[in-house]
Structure 1
């Protein structure tokens, strides 16, 4: 709906979550609350894909320090991070592909949300930073550990310790950004990419997420141990059966999927 700082809309099989709190999309209580509610809504009735994006010149200028951190106590800080990390976990555990699109400056909370998504797309002009050191804080929505998972611990420490901004091509080289979309209409490209992924075999994508998550958390052999269960179950899905028939009748690449 118009006027909401966080909107959740649907475009066919794709859900689109948009941050729209001009001029800088700063994260305050309203934005944090809207984000939590939107992710809970997606989890309660999963679409086939999720795109997270933002309106305005920047993705986000970070957290509204005056509204959120001024006067914060240690007890309240622990509670806030526990609440937000719980939502990050829900986002990561969604049984569907999640894509974050960064068209411009993307700082702190927004960058941490991006790191919790499956894929991160960026415009060439996008810049990223976990700059919490400016207020004597460490990133606390999962950024350090997820950045280390993508780029390695030394790069994660460099980015956070320095408080510097890093451009999209650099972070693509570091395996933080998946793709830099170098075109005239980044938003249209990002939506088309996310829509194409969402139109794929949703149950197979969920199986891929489960296998990769198991490898990340417990290693290759642990991931091997769940393949039979999660991949074998796909033979009971309509999408696989229809795709096999399409492959045999029409050749590869002609199948369409319904997410069942």
Structure 2
């Protein structure tokens, strides 16, 4: 296993597809997350305009790599929260503020840390047979990588506590109804629909999308007033973008919805 790559990256036009293949179950930990972090940065440097995060295995992710918990247990409450040297908080913030839309494409089971990974993406699409849940309570834990607070943001405090305290596996349709995930499709339509959404995002005004992500991040974490105060500064790159000029010119000539943006 040490010789196998945990991720595969493929470029499909303006969309970077990152496929997790960390056998057997894409367990969440530094072995998978550090290469994923690097792949996300590489996609940004390469000028990608949207990213798909998916699994090439039977499941999206079965949760955390439990072998990593040994050192933390030995250290107890006096030990570092990151004995493996990998900062979960830095990773979460980096993904959430990456100036490119990220679509999580979920199939199979998506549990524990897998849910938390999906929650830092901008759009979650799941197959109808997917089973999704924050199951850490079965181990005597709760979500360790930001899952609780991001569940609160998406579905409210009552549902967030239900998910993390009962530790159930939910069908995708239920979580779509709650607002935890964006869209559920038949299993056979997952890949095609994922790419349709990703391509739509990639063909949009990339500079504006980056600003949208940042304003949303501030609103969710610091409140609407803070987002209002940051808004003018965050919108400055939009006013300087080629896409805005293109969009305005297209609107005048052809009406709304026909602009062809270049992402700059």
What TM-score do the two structures reach when normalised by structure 2?
0.88
Question: Deviating runs (4+, > 4 A) in structure 1?
Answer: 43-46
Residue 57 of structure 1 corresponds to which residue in structure 2?
A: 58
Task: Name the residue aligned to 2:259.
Answer: 255
What secondary structure sits across from 1:4 in the alignment?
coil
Question: What's 1:199 paired with?
Answer: 203
Output one character per residue of 1:184-226: Cα deviation in whole Å (capped at 9) or x when no partner.
3211211221121111100111121222222222322332223
Q: Which moved more, 1:106-115 or 1:217-226?
A: 217-226
TM-score by length of 1: 0.90
Contact 1:39 1:87 in 2 (8 A): no
Counterpart-to-counterpart distance in 2, 1:138 and 1:80 = 19
**Partner residue of 2:13?**
12
Aligned position for 1:86: 90
Choose the corresponding residue for 1:219, options 215, 219, 223.
Answer: 223
Runs of at least 5 residues in structure 1 that lack an aligned partner in the other structure: none
SS in 1 for 2:124: strand
Q: What is the alpha-carbon distance in structure 1 between the residues aligned to residue 14 and residue 44 of structure 2?
A: 14
Distance, in Å, in 2 between the alignment partners of 1:232 and 1:78 is 37
Q: Supply the RMSD in Å over aligned alpha carbons.
A: 2.2
Report the more deviating stretch, 158-167 or 9-18.
9-18
- Counterpart of 1:114? 118
Contact map agreement 1:127 1:168 (CA 8 A) in 2: yes
The CA distance in 2 between the partners of 1:95 and 1:28, in whole Å, is 24
1:71 and 1:204 map into 2 onto residues whose CA distance is 43
Hey, what's the Cα distance between the residues in 2 that align with 1:176 and 1:259?
28
SS of residue matched to 2:141? coil
**Residues in 2 aligned to 1:228 and 1:42: alpha-carbon distance in whole angstroms:** 27
C-alpha contact 1:43 1:90 (8 A) present in aligned 2 = no
Distance 1:21 1:232, change over 3 A: closer
1:98 aligns with 102
Aligned to 1:175: 179
2:203 touches 2:262 (CA, 8 Å); kept in 1? yes
CA contact (8 A) 1:27 1:109 kept: yes
Helix, strand or coil: the match of 1:185?
Answer: helix
